């Protein structure tokens, strides 16, 4: 069902609103009493939310249904209205149009719906009721306020706007500041789908370097917090990945702004971040290996199935790594780490500046140039002679250049966006090379472990051999792509340099 | 009898609601509207429906007159409608349903009302034209030549959006100002209240009231009303000709 819905906080009696609307010429008729619980779904990145689409599934077997509301109907481009299958009863993810939809918020509703007929004959639904909210899979509900909600089939928005004026101005009901999903997420203190970074954490050109460092660190702490729940529930592998990325960026921010934030604490925090990054990496490496093995298996002659022994071993290794990670994410050490990150990001005293305070807009170009210089040193080497470890080193330098550009992109009117894209290309190519190295090592270890606990089935051994051969081929391809791309690197340097020229900053954008 | 005189609501529903609430608190018994109920604002339908529900005694202003003329389809009218300054009228006309058009068409140009034993004439601009203005500087001579109902003791008008009340040529002049689009530098809405006791008009006064200007400005944007400038409402001034 596609509908536009507007909700208002109900103050005073329902009768006042019902009688008032009747006096204005509407005909109200009580239709049904409803009690149901539903779950809002969205992708991990919040792509539905960003497009103004709200997807609510009611899993009750007797009356299962999907509701789809569009806050901005024109923005909708999805041809299919709702998933065809019933929503899962246990808030597990849903596959829909090649996307994985994850539970975002649970909603419990008790309401009485009225048919509201306008003089024009148009019929709307006006419901009076109460809503309660809960995080996915949580047992406790948080009660919300009494609400009046008006919903209408798509295409009749103008009359809804008129009734909305009556509710707001005449009956003085305060509109819900956002829609029910956003309101509910706020009630249960959860992040918006996709966890968009709050505007207050955007860099401004007159921020000091210290303020910039604090904002960048806050962003990473925010991203880590936003993904903990999903990672712990193992809703989607991307939650672990996002915490890992935030951890890496936080470490890099501490490295970049360590002097301004207090070197001793910054180093201590970097060590703690390395600890959690290690645990996240254990899970992520196995996820990548899992995907790659399935992907490369499809490319092997005869497309053999992944042998059960290998599959089970990988799954059990991941479960173990995830259990260790979960324990860490739920533990005191990680909570303290987040507290310390937030403290350092909020600390207004800080160490005394060792040199005159500069604004971040002045400080950014030297930092970006330093990141480029680290990569330029490798230009002297012939790419064909680089070892896997050296390629991995170059990948890390690309990552740091990318992070540095991303950190300051806001300040330069997003002039680095194209360069960041190119850094990502280098990173992806070298990343795949590194993933292949990791997968090879892990496959060998796996074969050894299986052999040591009572023998490895011959089909599994043959599979490991073929896979390692295939991985070698992938590594060669990656190296070839990198060597070709590496020739273009001086142009990337020139582009980034040009983006920092006067005239490309925020003043130019104005 | 205490009467509230409103004018120039200009489709500003939050302002109308605030005005009616203030009038209720002042215990007014009748509601009279001196034209320009709609036009320029985002809520023409809401304003008409509420006035109809409250059984307001209303007349048509120059905006309603022009709107009603849109129903004809002469070449001259079509040409006029293409002018930028007519865009908000075209927009308003598109919002209205049959019931609203019917209400508008039934509005008279002027009202002659007897409150207790006081004859009161209600016009939009002046008795002769809905496009002429009565400002606070109006003289007795102007009133004498205005073509007023010969037995009227009070003249209620609007149109200028500048509220005032004064005696001129023995007639009580009450300009209600504007409920929904004040232009005298005070962003608060305005209307007039007067007590009619026997043959006398007592304490005619201008009432100023605050309303949710931010909601109005948001609706102007959300409903894409042509030519609307939120700043005018926020500052209570006119930035260009209406």
CA distances from A378 to A4, A343, A424, A448 (A): 57, 38, 18, 37
Task: For B176-194, write each residue's pLDDT tens digit.
Answer: 999 999 999 999 999 999 9
Q: What is chain A's percent helix, strand, coil content, to nearest 5?
A: 60, 15, 25
The residue written with tokens 């790594």 in the block is A321
Which positions ≥6 away from A168 have C-beta within 8 Å?
Answer: A8, A174, A175, B14, B215
Task: For A37-89, write each residue's pLDDT tens digit.
Answer: 999 999 999 999 988 888 999 988 888 888 887 776 554 555 557 888 888 88
Out of B13, B53, B97, name the one closest to residue A165 (CB).
Answer: B13
Least confident of A98-102, B9-13, B196-200: A98-102
Mean pLDDT of B26-55: 96
- Rounded-to-integer distance, Cα B165 and Cα A480, Å: 89
Q: Kindly state whether B46 is in contact with chain A, defined as any CB-CB distance less than 8 angstroms.
A: yes
Instruction: Find the closest chain B residue to A72 by CA distance.
Output: B222
* pLDDT of amino acid A1: 44
Q: Provide DSSP, A421-454.
A: HHHHHHHHHHHHHHHHHHHHHHHHHHHHHHHHTT
- Rounded-to-integer distance, Cα A220 and Cα A21, Å: 49
Mean pLDDT of A97-106: 89
Q: Give kind and range of the element (H or E) at residue A336.
A: helix A332-346
* Residues found in chain B: 242
**Residue ranges covered by each domain of chain B:** 2-235
How many degrees, rounded to 5, is the angle at CA A504 between CA A502 and CA A509?
130
Tell me if the pTM is above 0.90: no
B193-225 in b/e form (b: 16+ CB < 10 A) is bbbbeeeebeebebbebebbbebbbebbeeeeb
Least confident of A61-65, A72-76, A116-120, B113-117: A72-76
* pLDDT of amino acid A366: 92
Mean pLDDT of A109-114: 92
Task: For A403-429, write each residue's pLDDT tens digit.
Answer: 999 999 988 888 899 999 999 999 999
B68: number of Cβ within 10 Å: 15
Residue A41 C-beta-side C-alpha neighbours within 13 Å: 27
Mutation site for A-interface testing, chosen from B11, B25, B50 by largest number of A Cβ within 10 Å: B50
Q: Which residues pair with B32 in a beta bridge?
A: B5, B57
- Rounded-to-integer distance, Cα A380 and Cα B45, Å: 75
Instruction: Find the closest chain B residue to A174 by CA distance.
Output: B215
* pLDDT of amino acid A96: 85
Q: Kindly state whether B210 is in contact with chain A, defined as any CB-CB distance less than 8 angstroms.
A: no
* pLDDT of amino acid B240: 61
Mean pLDDT of A480-488: 91
A-contacting residues in B 96-135 (Cβ below 8 Å): 97, 99
Instruction: Find the closest chain A residue to B97 by CA distance.
Output: A120
CA distances from B211 to B12, B159, B189 (A): 10, 20, 7
CA distances from A54 to A46, A154, A164, B33 (A): 10, 14, 20, 44
DSSP assignment letter at A359: B
Task: For A342-353, write each residue's pLDDT tens digit.
Answer: 898 887 776 566
Which positions ≥6 away from B242 have C-beta within 8 Å?
Answer: B40
Here the ipTM equals 0.90
Mean pLDDT of A345-364: 74
Q: E-strand spans in chain B?
A: 2-6, 30-33, 57-58, 111-115, 118-122, 154-157, 164-168, 171-175, 189-197, 200-209
Radius of gyration of chain B (CA): 17
Give the dihedral of Cα atoms B204, B208, B209, B213; nearest 10 deg: 140
* pLDDT of amino acid B242: 44
Q: Which residues pair with B185 in a beta bridge?
A: none
Question: What does DSSP say about strands B154-157 and B118-122: parallel, antiparallel, or unpaired?
Answer: parallel
CATH of B2-235, one of 3.60.21.10, 3.40.190.10, 2.60.40.10, 3.50.50.60: 3.60.21.10
CATH match of A202-347 with 1.40.20.10: yes
The pair of three-digit structure tokens given for residue A92, joined into one six-digit string: 């597990």
**Residue ranges covered by each domain of chain A:** 2-187, 202-347, 359-510
Mean pLDDT, chain A, integer: 87
Instruction: Find the closest chain B residue to A163 by CA distance.
Output: B46
Q: Tell me which residues of chain A have a C-beta less than 8 Å from any C-beta of chain B.
A: 23-25, 119-120, 158, 161-162, 165-166, 168-170, 172
* pLDDT of amino acid A78: 57
* pLDDT of amino acid A350: 60
CATH of A2-187, one of 2.60.40, 3.40.50, 2.40.320, 2.30.30: 2.40.320
* pLDDT of amino acid B72: 67
Question: What does DSSP say about strands B2-6 and B189-197: parallel, antiparallel, or unpaired?
Answer: antiparallel
């Amino acid at each position: 069902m596609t509908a536009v819905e507007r909700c208002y906080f109900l103050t005073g009696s329902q009768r006042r609103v019902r009688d008032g609307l009747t006096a204005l010429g509407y005909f109200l008729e009580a239709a049904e009493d409803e009690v149901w619980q539903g779950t809002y779904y969205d992708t991990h990145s919040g792509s539905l939310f960003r497009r103004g689409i709200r997807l609510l599934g009611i899993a009750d077997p007797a009356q299962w249904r999907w509701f789809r509301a569009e806050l901005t109907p024109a923005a909708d481009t999805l041809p299919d209205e709702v998933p065809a299958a019933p929503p899962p009863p246990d808030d597990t993810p849903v596959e829909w149009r090649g996307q994985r939809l994850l539970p975002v918020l649970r909603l419990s509703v008790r309401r009485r719906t009225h048919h509201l007929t306008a003089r024009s004959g148009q019929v709307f639904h006006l419901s009076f009721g109460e809503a309660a909210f809960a995080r996915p899979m949580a047992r406790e509900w948080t009660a919300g306020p009494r609400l009046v909600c008006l919903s209408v089939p798509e295409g009749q928005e103008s009359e809804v706007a008129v009734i909305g004026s009556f509710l707001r101005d005449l009956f003085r009901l305060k509109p819900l500041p956002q829609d029910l999903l956003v309101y509910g997420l706020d009630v249960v203190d959860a992040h918006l789908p996709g966890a968009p970074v709050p505007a207050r954490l955007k860099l401004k050109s007159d921020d000091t370097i210290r303020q910039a460092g604090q904002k960048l660190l806050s962003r990473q702490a925010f991203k880590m917090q936003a993904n903990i729940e999903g990672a712990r529930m193992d809703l989607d592998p991307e939650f672990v990945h996002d915490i890992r990325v935030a951890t890496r960026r936080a470490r890099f921010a501490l490295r970049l702004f360590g002097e301004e934030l207090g070197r001793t604490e910054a180093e201590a925090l970097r060590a703690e971040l390395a600890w959690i990054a290690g645990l996240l990496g254990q899970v992520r490496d196995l996820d990548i290996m899992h995907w790659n093995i399935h992907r490369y298996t499809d490319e092997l002659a005869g497309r053999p199935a992944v042998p059960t022994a290998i599959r089970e071993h990988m799954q059990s290794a991941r479960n173990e790594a995830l259990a260790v990670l979960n324990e860490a994410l739920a533990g005191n050490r990680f909570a303290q780490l987040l507290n310390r990150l937030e403290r350092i990001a909020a600390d207004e005293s800080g160490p005394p500046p060792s040199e005159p305070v500069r604004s971040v807009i002045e400080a950014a170009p030297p930092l970006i140039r330093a990141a480029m210089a680290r990569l330029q040193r490798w230009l002297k080497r012939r790419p064909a002679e680089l070892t896997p470890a050296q390629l991995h080193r170059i990948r890390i330098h690309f990552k740091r250049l990318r992070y540095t550009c991303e950190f300051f992109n806001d300040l330069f009117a997003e002039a680095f966006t194209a360069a960041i894209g190119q850094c990502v290309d280098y990173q992806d190519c070298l990343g795949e090379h590194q993933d292949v190295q990791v997968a090879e090592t892990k496959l060998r270890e796996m074969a050894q472990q299986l052999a040591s606990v009572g023998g490895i089935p011959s089909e599994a051994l043959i599979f490991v051999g073929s896979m390692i051969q295939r991985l070698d081929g992938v590594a060669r391809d990656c190296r070839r792509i990198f060597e070709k791309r590496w020739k273009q690197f001086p142009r990337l340097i020139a582009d980034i340099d040009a983006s920092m020229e006067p005239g490309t900053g925020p003043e130019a954008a104005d | 009898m205490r009467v509230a005189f409103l004018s120039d609501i200009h489709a500003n529903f939050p302002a109308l609601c605030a005005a009616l609430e203030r009038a209720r608190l002042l215990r007014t018994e009748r509601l009279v509207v001196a034209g320009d109920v709609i036009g320029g604002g985002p809520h023409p339908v809401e304003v008409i429906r509420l006035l109809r529900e409250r059984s307001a005694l209303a007349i048509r202003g120059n905006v309603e007159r022009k709107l009603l003329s849109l129903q004809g389809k002469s070449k001259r009218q079509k040409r006029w409608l293409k002018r930028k300054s007519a865009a908000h009228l075209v927009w308003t006309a598109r919002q209205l349903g049959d019931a609203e058009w019917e209400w508008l068409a039934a509005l008279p140009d002027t009202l002659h009302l007897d409150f207790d034993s006081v004859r009161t004439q209600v016009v939009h601009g002046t008795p002769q034209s809905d496009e002429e203005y009565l400002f606070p500087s109006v003289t007795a001579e102007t009133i004498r030549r205005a073509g007023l109902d010969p037995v009227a003791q009070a003249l209620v008008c609007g149109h200028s959006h500048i509220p005032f009340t004064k005696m001129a040529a023995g007639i009580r002049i009450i300009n209600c100002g504007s409920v929904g689009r004040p232009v005298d530098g005070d962003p608060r809405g305005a209307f007039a209240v007067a007590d009619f006791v026997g043959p006398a008009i007592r304490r005619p006064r201008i009432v100023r009231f605050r309303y949710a200007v931010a909601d109005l400005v948001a609706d102007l944007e959300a409903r894409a009303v042509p030519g609307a400038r939120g700043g005018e409402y926020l500052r209570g001034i006119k930035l260009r000709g209406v």
